[in-house]
Each structure stands twice: as structure tokens, then as C-alpha cells.
Structure 1
Amino acid sequence: MSLPVRWRRLVQDAFKRWVRSQDTQEVLAASSLPAWLSSAFVIPAVLALAAWAPGAERFFDLDFYEAMACLAPTLVQGVGFALLHRGRQRIGWWGWLYLMMGTAALQFFLAALMALAKMPGALVFAAVLIFTTGYHGRIHRVAPTQPFLALGSAVALGLAALMARSDEHIALFAVMGPLAITLELYAGSFALKHDQARAEAEQLRAIHQVQMQEQQERDKDRMSQGMVQILGYNHDINNTLMSVSAAADMLSVLGVQRNALPRAEFVDLVRELNEGLTRIREMVIEIRQKGRRMVSSEPENVHIIPVLESVRTSVGWRFPDVDIQVKVEEQASHALVRGGVTTLRRVVENLVLNACEGNGEQGAATVDILVRPEPYSGRLELLIADDGPGFPADKLRAPIEWLSTTKPNGTGLGLYTSECLIRDSGGTLERHNRPRGGAQLRILLPRELR
């Protein structure tokens, strides 16, 4: 392959890489027709003030018509680009070449103002040039590996330097020109690194979401197996309730015949038995309906403060000796939870009750609930810390399991169910022991960013 062909291939590859790195929608928004029409009115007005305002001659000494002649190519190219791409969602290769020429024309206009104005007004236009090149470097991803706009800026500055009115202006170009191009390259390189970091973060987030979905599927399978086992007893429970009810009726008849108890007292006892059986039957029906209901609704935006206050009140009645404190930082008052307020209350209440009960022999004396924004992911962080016995070391190393508990009369459903509900909402639950004693639960939940 000959050297010219190789260089042409390198330039084409660099140009394609530069085009792929662009945020097309951002570029189209910055080069829209309203933006250029506004510039067509604002910039001439500023030039008129710099030329004819009282005292402007001593500061700028700028010829308005010369400045407008330098501005005209920029406005024509800018308005033309906006008209050609009005209503479009993408930019062709010719559009990027057109955009490069328009950007170079704008840089030439600003550099020309720096050359035509006298000191110290030229310094003002130099500052505007520095700002503009930095902005173009960021929005157009200018970098040493794709320096097309930087080369256009260098050509524009070189042509404008030919118009310099004094040696002081030449010195100004010698300082500001390299500084502007360096800033353009630095801002573009920084933007490219930011894009790369954002792409990696999105990739990690996608991987995390896949892992979360897989874990949710495993959790649903495990819970479904458990629910199938529980629901399998419904028929037997109903038969048992019917048998007990029939026995109660028979007991009523036999008890009256044998006069074992006064009739009124015996009837009251039987009625109470029947009412209790009725309540049990209703609860069984409710459990069966809830067990068959699939959680398929979208996450709801839940106001977390009333939920926490309600949990503190309800748990406080059961454990009056436990000091439960709630603190919610600013911008951390809402979370996205599948199942809404009911699910969030169930999760928090289960975890706070576990803290108050401890291991069944020793419970917590204080429970602190802290809610704050998580600084890295932007999610909501909910911390529940207590001064109880903490988690056994083997429990911390092992995953949360179905029916696993350290309490003599516990079921192990509270922590396991809470973790499943949190995962189903797209969150995570972490367990830790505090250095000074006690346990800490860390919950991360998604939230709406405002």
C-alpha cells in the first residue's frame, strides 16, 4: 500500500471515528434555526454597541462594517446548515464537512474581532474566542486522534492574524492562538473520556439489571414452591374447619342434653368457637387469594416518611422500651417500590421487628432509621441500625434462605420475604454487623430523580 493511500485511509478512519463520537441530537439542537436567527439579531447588536456606544471608540475602536463583513459567512453557513437539517434526526457525512467549515468561519470571525479591535478591547474578544473554542471542543469531541475542528481553528486564527493592526496584536495571537487550540483539544478529550465512562457505567448497569432479573426469577421460583406447599394445605384446612364446626354443633346438642354447663353459658362458648372458626376461614380465603396474585404492577412512587412514622408507631406499641428514631435527609423522601405503600411498610416493619426481637433472647434497645440519597448511583439508601446482638458470623457469610432463623420460635420468613420484595422492586438488601455492636441493614431502592 502506497504512502498516500495509507494516509488517506488513516484520515478516513479518523473522520469516521469522529462522526461516531458525536451526539447528533445535541449538535442539531445547538445549530437549530431559532438559535441562528437569534444570533443574527444579537451579534450585530453587540457589534453596534462595540462600535458606536459612548466611550466604545477609546476601548474598541472597531469598524462596524468590517466586523459585519467577517460575520456574514458565519451567519450564511449557520442558517444554511439549520435549514438543510430542519426536521432531520441525523447528519450525513457532507453535513459534518459543512459543519466543520461553519465552525472554522465562526472562529475566524472572533479572531478577526481580536485583530481589528485595539487594546484593551481585543482582550475581551480573545476571552470570547477562548470560551467558544472550549465549547466547540466539548460539543464536537475534538481530540488529538480526531483533530479536524482544531485544524480548522488553526487555519482561521492564521488568516485572522494577517489582519492584526499592531505588534501587540501579533503577540496576542501568539499567546491566545495556541491556548485556544489546546483548550479545544483538552475539552474534547475530556468529553470523550466522560462518554467512555458513561458507556461503561451503562454497560455495568445493564449487567446488574440482568443479574437482578435472574435473581428475581430464582426468588420467584423459590417463593412459588413455598406457596404451592402452603396452598396445598388449603383443601385439608377447609375440611378440618368444617369438621370442627360440625363437632361444635354436636357438642352444643350433647352439652345441653347432659346439663354439663348452664345452657346460656354453654351456648356462649359454642358461639365464640363458631365465630373464631369463621374468622379463621376468612383469613384462609384471604391468604389463598394473596398467594395466587402475581406481582406484575409497575413500581409506584412512594412517599417514605409517612410509612416510616407509621412503622415507628405500630412497632412502638409492641416494644415500648425500644427507642426507634427516624431521620430522612433532603431529596430522599420518595422511592420506587413495586406494590406501593403496602410493600414498603411490610419490608420496613419486618426488619424493624427483627431488630427489636434480636435473637429471641436479647433484643435491641435502640433502632435508628436513616434515609438519604446514595451519592454514586443516585438511588435511595435506607439504613436500619440497632444495638442488639447482631448477626451470627455464619449467617452473614451465607445468603438469606427460606425458613432460616436464629430465634427459637421464629419462622425465618420476615427477612427472606423482605429481600425478595426489595429485589422485585429493583433494589438490594445488605447485612452487616456494626463495629461497636449490633446489626445494620442497608437497603438501596430506585427513586425518581427530580
Structure 2
Amino acid sequence: MSRRGTLRTAFRRWTRAQDAVEVLAAAGVGPWLVLTVFVVGLLAIVAWAPGARLFFGIPFGVGLLCAVPMLANGLLFSAVHQRRQRIEPWGWLWLVFGVAAMHFFLAALMALSSLPGAAVVASLFLFTTAFHGRLHRVTPRQPFLAVGTALALLAALPLRESDEHLALFGVIGPAALTAQLYLGTFAVQHDRAREDAERLRAAVHAQLLEQQERDVGRLSQALGEILGYHHDLDNALLSAGGAADMLAVMGVQRGALGRSDYEELVKTLHDSLAQIKEMVTEIRAKGRRYAGTDPEPVELPPVLNAVQASVGLRFPDVDIHVEVEREQPMRALMRGGATTLRRVVENLVLNACEGDGEHGADEVHIRARVDPLSGRLEVTITDDGPGFPAARLTGPAEELFTTKPQGTGLGLYTSECLLRASGGILHRQNAPGGGALLRVLIPREYR
């Protein structure tokens, strides 16, 4: 690729890294009119105020003449882009010139000022160039604004009052360019890290949604099968009930039916009872298949740390703290093993972070210990969110009930069902200082 092609590619990459909305908001006509009035007033004070005149010594006319390129360029740029929603490539070139004109104005004030005042202006120049480096993502690979800053310094250098200003330019110039490139590179790296975090959060969220959809699908399938069993059970019970009634009548009226009819009724009763027994056995087998046949020992601390990491990716603004008392073994007995236990805790922590859908928690504390009274593992989850509605604190969790606009109502319900299947208990209440407090008791392995 030729140098011109490489330059164009780098410039396109630089423009894609800019926030056009932020630039257009800062480049409005109103802000530039305010800046124009401020610059003229500041130059008047610096040139004619008694103390400032001795400290800076900047001629008003020369200072205003150095400000004209910046102010005229800014007002014209804001007028052209007043009703635009995006900036064209030529607009970004124009922006580079405008920023360079601002840097030239500050560098000219540094050159025109007496040495004590020049040091003050130099600090302002250093701050402004560093700010523009961060704002406009100036890097060694896209150094367009840095080149403009260097040209501005060279253009202002002939205006210097003395050779001592040359030393000041020799120090401030490289420092300003270094700060500009460093903060721009740091901002680009921060953008990339944020994009990676967003992609990871989106992937985790998609995985959780996919898992939730699978769970809902299995739940719907099981519900449909149970409803089908319910209909078959009704039919079987009706047949068994009819046969039993006929046998009861026969017991009172002996000889009402022949032996063949009697045997047929007995056969019908036996078949119906066998069918009921078979369906009940299948329902129990299905339940054991979903919940796990026997409880499995699970180390609790790694599960809590994994929940803290996964939920922290989805809610980076929420402080999630984990505290574990390790005086005794922390091995829970859970049907389905670590996967089920993690799902239980994760659902509860997610509910705390989401709150009621409008207001969530800022802090979530997860504490684990061995309950001294029952000997079980106790996990308490407290948050500073809106807490539970008073009507939801009594009775078991209800399936499909939710206060969140986009919620399914399965999180708390599923957690409580999984806990009960393993012999655990979930207590819900509101903390005295506000927020929700969940207390989970889980059977513990004592070995």
C-alpha cells in the first residue's frame, strides 16, 4: 500500500474513533459565541488591568489578531454543522485545523507574554493539548492533531519576546505532545477494554438467556406431560371408581351379575390401578431425572466466587462482596451438584441487582457460614435495593410473578423449588435498614 493509501486508512480509522455527537454538541454556535466574548474580555483584562498588564504584558491588538483564526474558524464550523447529525471526512479535516488554530492562539499568548506570565499560559497550553489528546483519541498511529499542535508551536515561536521563551517552548512543546499522545493512547485502550467488556457481557447475557430458554422449555414440556398424565389419571380413576361402585353393589345384592361380568369388573379395576401406578412411577422418575437422584457434595466458596464474577460482568456498577467463614468445612449437599447450587445463588443475586426493574441495588453482600443451631450451611444475600413488596413476604414464591417489566418470574420460584428438592429452605424478608434480605439454609456434608 502506498503512503497516501496508508494515510487515508489511518485517517478513516481516526474518524471512526471520534464521538461525532459530543464534538457537534461542543461546537455549537452558542458555545463559540460565549468563547468569543470570554477571549476578548480576557485579552482586555490581560492588556489593560494594572496588575495583569505588568505580569503578562500582552498587547491587546496582537493577541486579538492571533485569536481571529480560532474564533472565525469555530463560528464558521458551528454555523455549517448546526443542523447536521454527522461530520463528513472534510469536516474532520476542518476540525483538525480548528484545534490547531486554538493551540496556535495559546502558544502565541505564551510567546507574547513576559516570562512569569508565559509560565502560566504554558500550563494552560499543556492542559488544553492533553485534553484534546484524550477527547480526540490522538495516538502515534493517528497523530493528526499532534502534527497540528507541532505546527502551531512552530508558527508561534517567531513571536517570542526573548531567547528565554525559546527554552520554555523547548520544554513545554515536547511535554504537550507527549501528554497528548499518551492520554489519547490511554483513551483508545480504555475504549477497547470497554468494548471487550461489553462483548463479554453480551455473550454472558446471551448464554444466560439461552439457558433460561432451555429451562423454560423443559418446564413447559414437563407441564404439558403432567397435564396429559392428569387427563389419563382422571380416566383411569373414573374407570376404577365405576368398577369399585359396581363391586360394592354386587356386595349388597349377591347374584346380581354373573361370574364372567364380575371377573370383567375385577380386571377393569386391576388394569386401572396398574395404569395409575405406572403413571405415578413415571412422574417420579421424571422428577428424579430433573432434580438428580442423590444429593452431591459441593464446595460452597468456589460457587460463590463464580457467581460474583459472572454477575459482576453483567452489572459492573454493582459492588458484589463475598464473605465466607472458613472455620468449618463448607460442603453443601445439593441435587444436581454445583450447577444447581450456582443457579440458585445466581438467580437470587441477579434479582438483587435488577431490583424492581426500575431501581436496582448498588451493593450486594453474600455471606456464608455454618448455622450454629441447625448445623446447616447458611448463605445470606443482602442488598440496598427497593426490597420485596409486603404482599410477597408471606407464603412460597409464585411462578411467573414478577415486578420487572421484562421479567419472567421464574428466578425466585426456580431457586426455591431447587432448594426444596435438596432439603433446603429459603427465607425472604426486608432488611431493617432497607433492601432485601434472603437467608438460604442448605444441608451440609459433615465429613
Aligned residues: 304
What is the rounded CA distance, in whole Å, between the counterparts of 1:47 and 1:195 in structure 2?
38
2:198 alignment counterpart: 202
Which secondary structure does the structure 1 equivalent of 2:31 belong to?
helix
**Which residue identity lines up with residue 21 of structure 1 in the other structure?**
A
- Structure 1 residue 183 and structure 2 residue 179: aligned? yes
> Out of 139, 143, 147, which is 2:143 matched to?
147
Closer/same/farther in 2, CA of residues 128 and 416 from structure 1, 3 Å limit: closer
User: Which piece of structure 1 moves more, 223-232 or 53-62?
Assistant: 223-232
Listed one character per residue, the Cα deviations across residues 318-342 of structure 1 (whole Å, up to 9, x for unaligned) are xxxxxxxxxxxxxxxxxxxxxxxxx
Amino acid at match of 2:10: A
Give the 3-state SS of the residue equivalent to 2:83 in structure 1: coil
Deviation for aligned residue 1:398: 3.6
Q: Among residues 122, 127, 130, which one is paired with 1:126 in the alignment?
A: 122
User: Are residue 378 (structure 1) and residue 288 (structure 2) matched?
Assistant: no
Compared with structure 1, are the counterparts of its residues 417 and 202 closer, same or farther at alpha carbon in structure 2 (3 Å cutoff)? closer
Amino acid at match of 1:18: W
Q: 1:443 to 1:99 in 2, by over 3 A?
A: farther
Match of 2:158 in 1: 162
TM-score between the two structures when normalised by the length of structure 2: 0.59
Q: What is the rounded CA distance, in whole Å, between the counterparts of 1:222 and 1:426 in structure 2?
A: 26
* CA distance 1:166–1:440, shift in 2 (3 Å): farther
Deviation sequence 1:393-426 (CA, Å, 0-9, x none) = 776854218xxxxxxxxxxxxx977866877999
Q: Which residue number in structure 1 is paired with residue 340 of structure 2?
A: 400
Q: C-alpha distance in 2, partners of 1:78/1:12?
A: 25
Structure 2 match to 1:71: 67
What is aligned with 1:22? 18
On the 8 A contact 1:100/1:148 being kept in 2, the answer is: yes
Structure 1 residues 69 and 95: CA distance shift in structure 2, 3 A: same
Q: Structure 1 197/430 Cα, relative in aligned 2: closer, same or farther at 3 Å? A: same
Structure 2 residue corresponding to 1:12, chosen from 2, 8, 11: 8
Uncovered stretches (5+) of structure 2, i.e. residues with no partner: 240-294, 297-307, 355-363, 387-447
Contact 1:61–1:117 (CA<8 Å) still a contact in 2?
A: yes
Q: Cα deviation per residue 1:161-182 (whole Å; 9 max; x = unaligned)?
A: 1110101111110110111111
How large is the Cα RMSD of the aligned pairs?
4.2
Gapped runs of 5+ residues in structure 1? 244-357, 360-370, 402-414
Match of 2:85 among 74, 86, 89: 89
What corresponds to 1:218 in structure 2?
Answer: 214
* Partner of residue 316, structure 1: none
- 1:90 is paired with a residue whose SS is coil
Q: Do the aligned residues in 2 keep the contact of 1:383 with 1:441 (CA within 8 Å)?
A: no
> How far, CA to CA, are the matches of 2:141 and 2:377 in structure 1?
53
> Aligned in 2, Cα 1:240/1:42: closer, same or farther, shift over 3 Å?
farther
* Residue of structure 1 in register with 2:170 after alignment: 174
Q: Does the Cα contact within 8 Å between 1:115 and 1:169 map onto a contact in 2?
A: yes
1:280-319 superposed matches below 5 A: none
Alpha-carbon displacement from aligned partner over 1:54-83 (angstroms, at most 9, x marks no partner): 311221111111111000110111111111
